[in-house]
Amino acid sequence: MTIIILDGHALNPGDLSYDRLEQYGTLKVYDRTAPDQVIARAKDADALLINKVVLGEREFAQLPRLRYIGVQATGYNVVDVEAARRHGIVVTNIPAYSTPSVAQMVMAHLLNITQSVGYYAQQNRAGRWTDSPDFCYWDSPLIELAGKQMGIIGFGRTGSAVAHLAQAFGMKVAAYTSKPQESLPEGVEKLPLDALFATSDVVSLHCPLTPDTHHLVNAERLALMKPTAILINTARGPIVDEQALAYALNSGALHAAGIDVLCEEPPLAGSPLLTARNSFITPHIAWATLEARTRLLDICEANLRAFIEGHPQNVV
């Protein structure tokens, strides 16, 4: 079996090893692969491992040996699954590997916005506290989370983990979910979507990107939110109308946003959220702790082994 990894740098920038996969066949790893390089690099592959390389009918028609695609991520929208099925190609993904890390990033964004730790650390490095006439100073809102409402949209593994952390900070938790109220954890109130936007002090997104959730956060829903509210997005960029969010931030209609995902990654220069007021953006790294990536590689190997042994798992 020939196993080819087309964009190995995404999962492993050098602190992990793909060597374990060599026991299953001949292994070739490319750090990055441009669209016009896919066919030439993948032509001998029986199995492809990818993260963000796009594969569809055009590629499958020119890759007759290909029988397996292992997506090294939870989201698998980069693969035309129906086209893969027509060509007899099994596609798998990696579910639930990053739950603790993503939940932690939600709280990291929230604490950064409410306490401005990084800002004050930079100010003090520049000598501001040394020069202060008082024993302390602050020039940004300092916000206590206890008693505030965390509204969670999508209550799967990650949404549930965020709820647990929010409750540890003394927050009330509301959820927009298809699950019945009686199945939710104690203290979590099920709310309609617009009511959640209108009543929450923090809204955190944890739903998948589907036609129904595309631009779920739009100008109308942003207008429902309190001007003191905070939006956190660690889910998928297109769930948010970025132009509408930038306008809400710049106009003061929304206090702040913590964003780990954008509609286009990397973003184009001039992307409206890059310079919007109180817009705090991290480069899609909520999933990328060493611990989470180690779990991802473990599951990636298990998926490949299960396919070789004839009982594929995590098939999408």
In angstroms, the CA 229 to CA 238 distance is 20
- Whether 32 is a known active-site residue: answer no
Instruction: Tell me whether strands 68-71 and 26-29 are parallel, antiparallel or unpaired.
Output: unpaired
Catalytic residue among 87, 215, 284, 305: 284
Residues forming a β-bridge with 240: 217
Q: Which of 109, 236, 293, 295 is catalytic?
A: 236
CA contacts within 13 A on the Cβ side of 269: 0
Residue 265 appears among annotated catalytic residues: yes
What does the block give as tokens for 20? 């374990």
Q: Active site includes 109?
A: no
Give me the active site residues, please.
Answer: 236, 265, 284
